[in-house]
A and B are shown apart, each in its own frame.
Chain A
Amino acid sequence: MGQIASATLALVTSTFLLAITVTLSACGSGSGGTGIVGQSDSVSSTSSSEVSSVTSSSVNSVSYFDEVPEGYPQLPAHFPDPKVPESNPLTVAKIELGRFLFFDRNLSINKTRSCGDCHQPAKAFTEDKALAVGITPDQIHARNSMSLTNVAYNAGFNWANPNLPDLERQVHGVLFNEAPIELGWSDVESQILDRLKEDTTYVKLFNDAFFDASDPFTVANVERALASFERALISGNSAFDLFEAGDKTALSQSAQKGKELFFSEQLECFHCHGGFNFSQAVDHEGIVLNQLDFHNNGLYNIAGNGDYPANNTGLWEFNSTPSNMGKFRAPTLRNIALTAPYMHDGSIASLDEVIDHYARGGRLIAEGEYSGDGNLSPYKSELLAGFILSEQDKAHLKSFLESLTDWVFICAANLQDPYGNHPMHNRCAELNF
């Protein structure tokens, strides 16, 4: 199980991080970092072999979450153990390989995009675009890049896919999807694997991570490593968590009032965004009954039929029972202040507007092809009854949502981009953990 939250605060200063001095200097300067191999936009970039990596020579006799090394977020004491597939035991070596792969634009066929381009650490592993763009700029993804905060606990993956059993399969989709293309692996995976094999950094990382494989450079192992990195993205060290653990100074008066509003029957937020992860759709070692569920939150009601735009129908895409129209999985609200814009299609720009949306009980689109009143949708969740809040209470609620930001997670040294394309959040330097 996890260790107490305060123990994690010391993580960055540990000498364990000696091997990632490059990353640390990026943290300290708050800028793009020095001495990092430039890979930002150049197709002809050099190999990543000069980038130093975390050394992971220790043998993992205990499970990763029992003894999380410094530099990674600890598993908080109040969090359950995440499920980890038996076919992919979690090790530091796999997490570290996964980190390099995650941020490496060489992982896309035309060397233009990495996982980390849409899932940036400083934005709680999201980005500020409303809609994601893969390697083909003319093919805009229909949906917003999801936060990867605590993705190890997701009961399901993507915004509304009911068929993805684990992160390995979720990753598989990102690599191989064709409509739209994300990283563009379809039919050309051997080219990308060959690219990795020629990189001495990866030779070491793959051999460390998959030491018992005769040829560790396989698609399955790339998927396992990426899934492993994502499982390390544990966030339970926000001001809210400290407050709950007994530090009554951790939350401002405003945030405390906002907390009461959040957990009130008046606002009903917690029905979908409840529990330790602020999402009811969680899975972990203690879960026996499937918790994956989907909700329509009244964003659209095209022509009064309850319809959503044709490329964003939610669960209905997989099961055309009418009541599935517009149902999406409730994402975690942890770090939500960093993940704007909001909703499955990024169609709400700010937290203030999100609160207004829920207060209204659905969105009114007055004109255009999507016109309709979401508040009147026949498929809207019955919990979306609307509410009236004073401006002051809205500010309190927003303060509470902001208190869910976990800077220990955002600034965790071993979760950062080793190539420097996405610098650590500039607050990390001033927080100076």
Chain B
Amino acid sequence: MLHNLKPFFVLKPLVAVAAVLMAACGNDNSTQQSSTIGDQAVDVDQIINFKAMFGEEPYICGQTYSDVGAQSSDYTAKDFRLFASNIIAMLDDGTSQALNVAEDGVWQHDGVALLDFGHGCDAASDNPVNSKIEGSLKLTASQVVSQICFDIGVPFELNHEDNTLQASPLNVSGMYWAWQSGHKFFRLDGVTSAGGFNVHLGSTGCDSGGKTEAPTTCANPNRPRICLALDPSTQTIIVDAKALLADSDVEQNTPNTAPGCMSGNNDPECPAVIPKFGLDFMYIPSSDDQTLIEADTQSVFYVE
């Protein structure tokens, strides 16, 4: 495939590069001719780069960051991963197309990519990390990517399969969402002197029609859609954990609830977290009480 040409890939596709790529595909040489002529669309490799940050500082698994959250706490980060899917490129001519996500056998499968900025640093481990999505678009010489949209999460139809039997990265067990059957879509784990404060985003309120069926609906899909103006050839998508935790007291956890916010609708730590993804959050502290916390303008993902 085209992966071995990564160093050459360019986002504003030079015709010559496109021609090389075509040749690499093993296509007939005559296509070189036609692609150089002008507006015939050809497969062009794309890499969308991500970088995890805590404010101005890069995320490093195990590092302690100061001034985190509403109480300016010290917070030691231990895990930072997310799934991206349903990835669409908006082009400068007003058209859009789905990114053809490469099958790499590890990080990407069935249009879903796992970004792993580092986890498991408690033990001396050399866990591999991944901070990019690789794929291709069919572009003419004049078309340029202007915006990228993606969901944080695993699509519903893949999310509730038996994840033991799914292919990588859907079988990365740290992203299993065992209590609701499915996957964690976003995972940020960390501790303060007061204990753990984790953010696990995933679908909740999932219910199946019958025991032999996977869930048919989830009341709260919790798949944020992120759209960013982006030139992938020169720019990087920043994922800012500090922005996510900005309104949370990360040293506080309500007893009998998950440490931090694991998307539970009755978890008092979630109203300050979930809206940061640009999601509405229905806070239901009791069977007879619910409050809609409206989505913030998401500030966790931005382009640099």
Return chain B residues, CB-CB under 8 Å to A179. Answer: 179, 258-259, 262
From A155, which residue of chain B is reached at the shortest CB distance?
A: B211
Please report the C-alpha to C-alpha distance between residue A313 and residue B258 in the assembled complex, in whole angstroms.
14
Query: Is B212 a contact partner of A173 (Cβ separation < 8 A)?
Result: no
**A187 in the interface (beta carbon within 8 A):** yes
Q: Given the known inter-chain contacts A172-B164, A185-B173, A318-B180, please indicate yes or no for A311 contacting B211, CB distance below 8 A.
A: no
The residue of chain A having its C-beta at the shortest distance from the C-beta of B187 within the complex is: A178
CA distance A303 to B179 in the complex (A): 27
19 A-B residue pairs with Cβ-Cβ distance under 8 Å, sorted by A, are A162-B208, A165-B214, A169-B181, A172-B162, A173-B178, A176-B173, A178-B178, A186-B176, A187-B172, A219-B173, A283-B211, A290-B211, A305-B286, A307-B286, A310-B267, A317-B264, A320-B282, A320-B284, A322-B287
**Cα distance A286–B182 in the bound complex, in angstroms:** 29
Residues of chain A within 8 A (CB-CB) of B207 are 162-163, 318-319
The answer to whether B178 touches A176 (Cβ under 8 A) is yes
Smallest beta-carbon distance B63→chain A, Å: 19
Does residue A223 face the partner (Cβ distance < 8 Å to B)?
Answer: yes
Q: In the complex, what distance in Å separates the CA atom of A316 from the CA atom of B287?
A: 8
Residues of A within 8 A of B267 (CB): 310
The answer, yes or no, to whether A84 is at the interface (CB within 8 Å) is: no
Check A310/B254 contact, CB under 8 A, given A322-B287, A325-B287: yes
Within 8 A of B (CB), among A161-198: 161-165, 168-169, 172-173, 176-179, 185-187, 189
Chain A interface residue number, banded = 35 or more
Q: Which of B96-129 contact A (CB under 8 A)?
A: 119-120
Q: A309 within 8 Å of B by Cβ? A: yes
- Give the size of the chain B interface in residues (CB under 8 angstroms): 45
A379 at the interface (CB under 8 A from B): yes
Q: Known contacts A163-B180, A163-B208, A320-B284; can you find 16 more A-B pairs with CB under 8 A?
A: A162-B208, A163-B207, A163-B214, A165-B208, A173-B179, A177-B178, A179-B262, A185-B173, A187-B172, A220-B164, A290-B210, A307-B286, A309-B256, A310-B254, A310-B266, A320-B265
A292 to B208, CA, bound (A): 11
**In this assembly, does A121 line the interface, its C-beta being within 8 Å of a C-beta of chain B?**
no
CB-CB contacts below 8 Å: A317-333 with B: 317-320, 322, 325
Chain A residues whose C-beta falls within 8 Å of the C-beta of B262 in the assembled complex: 179
Of chain B, the residue at the smallest CB distance from A190 is B173
Within 8 A of A (CB), among B112-156: 119-120
In the complex, which of the residues B205, B210, B254 contacts A319, with contact meaning CB atoms closer than 8 Å? B205
Q: What is the bound-complex CA distance between A142 and B206, given in angstroms?
A: 20
Q: Are A187 and B287 in contact (CB under 8 A)?
A: no
Residues of A within 8 A of B (CB): 142, 155-156, 161-165, 168-169, 172-173, 176-179, 185-187, 189, 219-220, 223, 283, 290, 292, 303, 305-307, 309-311, 313, 316-320, 322, 325, 379
Residue B257 at the chain A interface, CB threshold 8 Å: yes
Say yes or no for B56: interface residue by CB 8 A criterion.
Answer: no
Closest-CB distance, B60 to chain A (whole angstroms): 18
- Taken together as a complex, chains A and B put the C-alpha atoms of A156 and B120 apart, in Å, by 34
> Are A310 and B164 within 8 A (Cβ)?
no
Q: Is the CB of A379 within 8 A of B287?
A: yes
- Whether the pair B178, A311 counts as a contact (CB closer than 8 A) is no
Q: Which residue of chain B is the closest to A182 with respect to CB atoms?
A: B178
- Whether the Cβ atoms of A187 and B179 lie closer than 8 Å is no
Which of A172, A219, A303, A311 has a CB less than 8 Å from the CB of B256?
Answer: A311
9 nearest A-B residue pairs (beta carbon): A187-B174, A311-B256, A325-B287, A322-B287, A173-B178, A290-B210, A163-B181, A310-B256, A177-B178
Name B127's closest neighbour in chain A (CB-CB). Answer: A187
CB pair B266–A305 under 8 Å, yes or no, is no
Q: Mark B215-257, 1 if CB is under 8 A from A, else 0.
A: 1000100000000000000000000000000000000001011
Indicate if the CB atoms of A319 and B219 lie closer than 8 Å. Answer: yes
Chain A positions within 8 Å of B284 at CB level: 320
List A contacts of B256 (CB < 8 A): 142, 309-311
Expressed in whole angstroms, the Cα–Cα distance for A185 and B172 within the complex equals 11
User: Please, which residues of chain B bring their CB within 8 A of the CB of A172?
Assistant: 162-164, 176, 178
Residues of chain A contacted by B282 (CB below 8 angstroms): 320
Question: B213 in the interface, Cβ–Cβ < 8 Å?
Answer: yes
Smallest CB separation, A81 vs chain B (Å)? 16
Whether A318 pairs with B212 at a CB distance below 8 angstroms is no
Distance to closest chain B CB from A396 (angstroms): 36
